[in-house]
Amino acid sequence: QSVLTQPPSVSAAPGQKVSISCSGSGPNIGSNYVSWYQQVPGTAPKLLIFDNYKRPSGIPDRFSGSKSGTSATLDITGLQTGDEADYYCGTWDYSLTAGVFGGGTKLTVL
Amino acid sequence: QLQLQESGPGLVKPSETLSLTCSVSGGSISSNNYYWGWIRQPPGKGLEFIGTIYSSGNTYYNPSLKSRVTISVDTSKKQFSLSLAAVTAADTAVYYCARQHYGDYDSGFDYWGQGTLVTVSS
Angle at B81 between CA B77 and CA B83, to 5 degrees: 150
SS3 A31: helix
Instruction: Determine the Cα–Cα distance for residues B15 and B27; give it in Å rounded to an integer.
Output: 36
Please give, rounded to a whole number of angstroms, the shortest distance from the CA of B72 to a CA of chain A.
16
| pLDDT tens digits along A1-49 | 899 999 999 999 999 999 999 999 999 999 999 999 999 999 999 999 9
Strands (E), chain B: 3-7, 11-12, 18-25, 34-41, 48-53, 59-61, 69-74, 79-84, 93-102, 106-112, 116-120
Instruction: Tell me what percent of the residues of chain A surpass a pLDDT of 70.
Output: 100
Instruction: Determine the Cα–Cα distance for residues A74 and A76; give it in Å rounded to an integer.
Output: 7
Give me the residues of A, 12-51, that contact B with CB < 8 A: 32-33, 35, 37, 43-47, 50-51
A-chain CB neighbours of B102 within 8 Å are 92
Q: Which of B22, B107, B112 to mutate to test the interface with A (most CBs of A within 10 A)?
A: B107
CA B107 to chain centre: 17
If pLDDT is split at 50, 70 and 90, which confidence band does B105 have?
Answer: confident
A96–B106: do the CB atoms touch at under 8 Å?
no
If pLDDT is split at 50, 70 and 90, which confidence band does A53 have?
Answer: very high
Q: What is the mean pLDDT of chain B?
A: 96
Q: What is the DSSP pairing of strand A71-76 with strand A46-49?
A: unpaired
pLDDT on residue A103: 97
| pLDDT tens digits along B31-69 | 899 999 999 999 999 999 999 999 999 999 999 999 999
pLDDT on residue A21: 98
B-chain CB neighbours of A103 within 8 Å are 46
If pLDDT is split at 50, 70 and 90, which confidence band does B94 have?
Answer: very high
Q: Tell which phi-psi region holds residue B57, choosing left (phi > 0), alpha (psi between -120 and 50) or beta.
A: left
pLDDT on residue B22: 98
pLDDT on residue B77: 96
If pLDDT is split at 50, 70 and 90, which confidence band does B113 have?
Answer: very high
